[in-house]
Amino acid sequence: MNKTALVTGASGGIGLDIAELLASDGVDLILIARNSDKLREEQVRLSGKYNVSVNIIAADLSQVESAITVHKEVHSRGLTVDYLINNAAFGVYGEFSKTDWSAEAGMLNLNIVTLTHLTKLFLKDMLERGGGKIMNVASTAAFQPGPMMALYYASKAYVLSFSEAIGNELKDKNVTVTALCPGPTKTGFQSAAGIEESRLVKGRKLPDSKEVAAYGVRAMMNGKAVAVPGLLNKFLVFCVRLFPRPVIIRVARFVQDSR
């Protein structure tokens, strides 16, 4: 019997690339995103191309209690989740005193609360069955504060800390937790977050999301706790440990500002 992976944020970018990689290895899919038309399109394409079962659930995971809705729907269809990939996330750009709280509240619910709740719900199922794998997509933003995207950086720091902590709790229970920490990647994230003009992005050749997805899938299958794709990203994460905190924050502000 095929394994089944649940992937959030699966209508494009890293999430869709992860789903496709898993499907190419014969893994059945449960794809979750807000865009139902895009989900149906990918359901037809992936199931036909790889001869796997593809279930779709259209849901806005930034809404309160959305994790319970998804979990109940998965169970009502008689599905089990062997691999949970919490990929869905977005960012809000600007000075904290000036940004829109309703957008930020949705972001925090998606990036932190729903991710945590989905992990708790499906982890219990995995433990009852005796095994499973979880990938929580964090970011290199998790390793330092991020002026101009303060809440997004903080949310990813939470994802990293949470993933490492529960991974330790599960070390003898045949369930692994991987925090994938990509740097800026060629997806729709930059446009949605409004950071296309920042030094972090503008004029840079960003890594392809397929490369990041492949690295993440390998790391998850190997049970790696923290996965940082790319030599430059690894170097930058290492440097954060060497420099005084005020210096790191000033550098983060510099690259976040517009060119």
pLDDT in tens, the chain (259 residues): 899 999 999 999 999 999 999 999 999 999 999 999 999 999 999 999 999 999 999 999 999 999 999 999 999 999 999 999 999 999 999 999 999 999 999 999 999 999 999 999 999 999 999 999 999 999 999 999 999 999 999 999 999 999 999 999 999 999 999 999 999 876 555 455 455 554 454 445 567 899 999 999 999 999 999 999 999 889 988 888 887 777 777 877 877 776 5
Q: What is the pLDDT, as a whole number, of residue 146?
A: 94
Q: What is the pLDDT, as a whole number, of residue 202?
A: 47
Unique residue bearing structure tokens 């009852």: 128
Angle, helices 36-50 vs 13-24, to 10°: value is 20
Q: What is the pLDDT, as a whole number, of residue 196?
A: 52
Q: What is the pLDDT, as a whole number, of residue 7?
A: 98
Q: 36: phi > 0 → left, psi -120 to 50 → alpha, else beta; which?
A: alpha
Query: Which residues are part of the catalytic machinery?
Result: 152
Q: What is the pLDDT, as a whole number, of residue 187?
A: 59
CA-wise closest residue to 119 among 179, 35, 59? 179
CATH class of segment(s) 4-256: alpha beta
Contacts of 201 (CB under 8 A, 6+ apart): 184, 190, 195
Q: What is the pLDDT, as a whole number, of residue 259?
A: 59
This model's pTM is above 0.85: yes
What is the greatest pairwise CA distance in the chain? 53
Domain boundaries, the chain: 4-256
